[in-house]
Structure 1
Amino acid sequence: MRRASRLLGRLFFYLLVVFVVVYSVFPFYWAVISSFKPSDALFSPDPSFLPVPFTLEHYENVFLQANFGRNLLNSLIVAGGATLLSLVLGVLAAYALGRLPFPPKNAVMYIVLSMTMFPQIAVLGGLFLLLRQTGLFNTHLGLILTYLLFTLPFTVWVLVGYFRGLPRELEEAAYVDGATPLQTLLKVMLPLTGPGLVTTGLLAFIAAWNEYLFALTFTVGDSVKTVPPAIASFGGATPFEIPWGSIMAASVVVTVPLVVLVLVFQQRIVAGLTAGAVKG
């Protein structure tokens, strides 16, 4: 009886794993095969789960008829700049909050956490006026600074836990040798934060790469427009046609590099997210 219940439990577990995998992977798989199907096959009453017939016309339309290459470069500049700036500021703030003693530490942590509680639409109007007044509207720098609103708090919170998990003896030894707090951070603590930096940097990059609302509101034209609003603005042969094939092809082009990065750095991501979770 016990063996039968154990087998049933294991069977239920594997069925649950298969369901989660299919539920998570199938939308991306459908986007991939749809990007290789002709337009008329996308609306077939008997859809195929294989790209038959096979075509590359949607990828040709994305790169030849649209200014998609420029949009990709804009996304790379904005997401990379926001990630780099978040890491620089986040490392300094996280080290101070995680290792240095000062009275309002908890209050600062709660303020950082509260920044993540506001929906983007709640601050959209104020940011729009601020960018217009400072001349940063429709610029890469303007998008980078607005993206810090959601990338920086996450970076600080993850790195604070990571710095708290590092041995204090290393820091004390550096102070004994006459190092300042900044020197201790740069020469002793920072080289040990590889998994934490990879985790926060990659997740912040993904969040900035996929951001839509700010990119749509604070950009005009293709000179600064990033990938998400560019894909949303794809037009068909007629005003009433939605080019699903081109949208799927562009989505695959944008998503595949992120998937590859996550697969390559998955061990460091897990190490960074779990750092500081266990004391001792």
Structure 2
Amino acid sequence: MQPTRRRRRIDYFKGLTGVLVTLIVIVQVYPLAWLFITSLRTESDFVNGNPFALPTEVTLDNFVRAFGVGNLGLNILNSLIVTMGANVLIVILGMMAAYALQVLGFRFSGVVRGLFLLGIIVPVQIALVPLFIDYAAVGLLDTHISMILPLAGFAFPLSVYLFSSFFEYIPRETYEAASLDGAGPYRIFGLITLPLSVNTIVSVVMVNSIFIWNDFIFANTFVLSDGLKTIPLGLQNYIGAMGNVDWTATFAAVCVTVTPLLLVFLIMNRAMIYGLESGASKG
């Protein structure tokens, strides 16, 4: 009787877990599915019909309008430049700092690492006014650099934490053997540490890309011209006079901007999960 009760209890918890997972998936997937379906509806069907019903007529005119009305292509290009530029700085500087702290080591390296971690709790809002004044003084206002630098700076502490935590997994004997073979710190970094950190690099890039791609605060503060607007700022172009919104074109624009990030996330999902686990388990 005891094994039977235990088996029934296990089956009960398995069923309950399956129901909860299904509900969570529905809650997360439904907005994306609704967004895609709504982007294919005609404007009259969306305004006059039930916005949550299936479309009575499918059209691609919303996507044509999305690119024509709001300079969506230029917004995507600006977001790509900012995202790639910030990620390059985050990965290079984060890996080098973590390598110096965790692998090379020096006096008070633990204190320095703690100071880096304190940067995670610093809110970005406190830097907006000082950065705006400094950028205006040196002529960096209304440039891609004005967005790349603060985005990379505020993401830097977390990347240092993930990389340094992952470097704990690399056996010290590996570095000692390379040193005995005559390899210096730069060669060890390029031939040993860098290849072993691919999954962590993917994780750091993906985690930061989501926030950088959707950044509104820095872009809205430092960008003054239409030619440098990123996607979050560009979506404002779909709001017309007196607050009128071309909803179907807006949903099409959001669908276009979200889809590439989702595809990359799905493709890199396994590497990202492995990198986060290996980079945070010992942190």
**What band does the TM-score fall into relative to the shorter chain?**
over 0.9
**1:163-182 paired onto structure 2 within 5 Å:** 163-182=167-186
Q: How many angstroms does 1:20 deviate by? A: 0.6
TM (norm. structure 1) is 0.93
**1:81-96 paired onto structure 2 within 5 Å:** 81-96=85-100
Structure 1 equivalent of residue 268 of structure 2: 265
Say whether the 8 Å CA contact 1:30–1:49 is kept in structure 2: no
Q: How many angstroms does 1:248 deviate by? A: 1.2
Say whether the 8 Å CA contact 2:200–2:279 is kept in structure 1: no
TM (norm. structure 2) is 0.92
Say whether the 8 Å CA contact 2:86–2:151 is kept in structure 1: yes
Structure 2 equivalent of residue 144 of structure 1: 148
Say whether the 8 Å CA contact 1:36–1:55 is kept in structure 2: yes
**1:1-280 paired onto structure 2 within 5 Å:** 1-44=5-48, 46-236=50-240, 238-275=241-278
Unaligned runs of 5+ in 2: none
Q: Which has more helix, going by share of residues?
A: 2
Distance 1:130 1:55, change over 3 A: same
Q: How many angstroms does 1:8 deviate by? A: 2.4
Q: How many angstroms does 1:219 deviate by? A: 0.2
Q: How many angstroms does 1:28 deviate by? A: 1.3
Distance 1:98 1:51, change over 3 A: farther
Q: Which amino acid aligns with 2:270?
A: Q
Distance 1:52 1:158, change over 3 A: farther
Give, in whole Å, the separation in 1 of the partners of 2:72 and 2:279. Answer: 42
Aligned residue pairs, count: 278
Give, in whole Å, the separation in 2 of the partners of 1:46 and 1:198. Answer: 41
Q: How many angstroms does 1:48 deviate by? A: 4.2
Say whether the 8 Å CA contact 2:36–2:251 is kept in structure 1: yes
Q: Which runs of 4+ in 1 moved over 6 A?
A: none
Give, in whole Å, the separation in 2 of the partners of 1:82 and 1:106. Answer: 26
Say whether the 8 Å CA contact 1:36–1:56 is kept in structure 2: yes
Say whether the 8 Å CA contact 2:90–2:152 is kept in structure 1: yes
Unaligned runs of 5+ in 1: none
